[in-house]
């Protein structure tokens, strides 16, 4: 009995649902997959594959040698030559390979079409967990959580816990790096730094007003999210807010469009 051969054949028959799922979710900043165990994944794929192959068999007019398939799946190879001649066996293997190739290509195409359809009609806007395609941070930084349809620039105020105390780092977003639903770091340009609280009237008492901005030299500034207390986003449309953009490095945007990342991500 050749158990390995049977396992390979069964795996091949389980591929179509997996191909659909992978191609549907494949893309930039894809959301993490469901946390299924290996057994749960196999069972789900087996049930779906049963329906897939059952529907496919309805369209196949030629005779299907299920007796040969069952023997191969069970690893019974001793009397296979007596069941089917070698020439016919080769023909059956080629037909089996062609059948599975067509099914897999069809489900890859269906997966990409379903992804395009979901994005085209806005089903992937993050409101439905079933149709959500990206990580939560994608919707956060692209304005979808704030119902903002269009913006040209994104200005960020990040309240950071540093060895020198709590600071506000501000700048225009260039890129952010995610690992699944975990935000690793934020890259900004035209970065400035301000103290989160400043002394009141020259005393040691601190007031909730940010200090004077200090420009940070360099082309790109990296902010590790693990040290971030909170984020504030300002979505800017160039034709409407040129004056606001010019003031941001001086005044900051801490009071513009408050949006708590901690509440959003949970």
Confidence of residue 178 (pLDDT cuts 50, 70, 90): confident
In CATH, what is the architecture of 136-265? Roll (2.30)
Helices (H), 15-37: 15-25
Average pLDDT over the chain, rounded to an integer: 77
Residue by residue, DSSP assigns 125-190 as SSS-TTT--B-HHHHHHTTTTTT----SEEEEEEEEEETTEEEEEEEEEEEEEEETTEEEEEEEEE
Please compute, for residue 101, the number of CA atoms within 13 A of its CA located in the half-sphere on the CB side.
6
Which ranges of the chain would DSSP assign to H, the alpha helix?
Answer: 3-13, 15-25, 38-57, 66-73, 80-83, 86-120, 136-141, 242-251, 261-265
244: confidence class by pLDDT, cuts 50, 70, 90: low
Q: Which of 88, 83, 68, 78 is nearest to 9 (CA)?
A: 68
User: How many Cβ atoms from other residues are within 10 Å of residue 10's Cβ?
Assistant: 13
Question: Strands 214-215, 165-179: parallel, antiparallel or unpaired by DSSP?
Answer: unpaired
Q: What are phi and psi of 130, to 5 degrees?
A: -65, -40
Secondary structure of residue 227 in the 3-state scheme = helix
* Alpha-carbon span 26 to 125, nearest angstrom: 16
What is the reported pTM? 0.63
For residue 230, give the DSSP letter: E
| Residue 264 predicted with pLDDT over 50 | no
Q: What is the pLDDT of residue 265?
A: 42
- Determine phi and psi for 156, rounding to 5 degrees: -120, 135
Q: CB under 8 Å to 68, separation ≥6 — which residues? A: 80, 83, 84, 89, 92
Residue 26 pLDDT: 82
Structural domain boundaries in the chain: 3-120, 136-265
pLDDT at 250: 46
């Amino acid at each position: 009995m050749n158990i390995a051969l049977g396992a390979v054949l069964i795996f091949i028959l389980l591929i179509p649902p997996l191909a659909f799922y992978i191609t549907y979710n494949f893309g930039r900043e894809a959301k993490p997959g469901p946390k299924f165990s290996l057994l749960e994944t196999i069972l789900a794929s087996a049930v779906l594959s049963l329906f897939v192959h059952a529907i496919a068999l309805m369209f196949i007019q030629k005779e299907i040698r299920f007796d040969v398939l069952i023997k191969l799946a069970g690893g019974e190879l001793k009397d296979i030559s007596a069941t089917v001649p070698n020439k016919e066996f080769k023909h059956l293997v080629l037909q089996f390979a062609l059948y599975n190739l067509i099914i897999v290509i069809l489900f890859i195409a269906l997966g990409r079409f379903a992804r395009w359809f979901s994005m085209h009609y806005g089903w992937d806007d993050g409101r439905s967990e079933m149709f959500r395609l990206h990580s939560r941070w994608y919707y956060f930084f692209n304005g979808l959580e704030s119902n903002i349809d269009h913006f040209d620039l994104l200005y960020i105020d990040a309240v950071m816990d540093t060895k020198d105390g709590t600071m506000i780092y501000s700048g225009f977003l260039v890129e952010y790096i995610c690992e699944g639903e975990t935000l690793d770091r934020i890259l900004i340009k035209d970065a400035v730094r301000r103290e989160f609280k400043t002394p009141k009237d020259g005393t040691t008492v601190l007031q909730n007003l940010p200090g004077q901005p200090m420009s940070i030299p360099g082309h790109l500034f990296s902010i590790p999210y693990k040290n971030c207390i909170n984020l504030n986003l300002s979505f800017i449309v160039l034709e409407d807010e040129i004056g606001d953009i010019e003031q941001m490095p001086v005044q900051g945007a801490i009071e513009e469009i408050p949006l708590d990342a901690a509440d959003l991500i949970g």
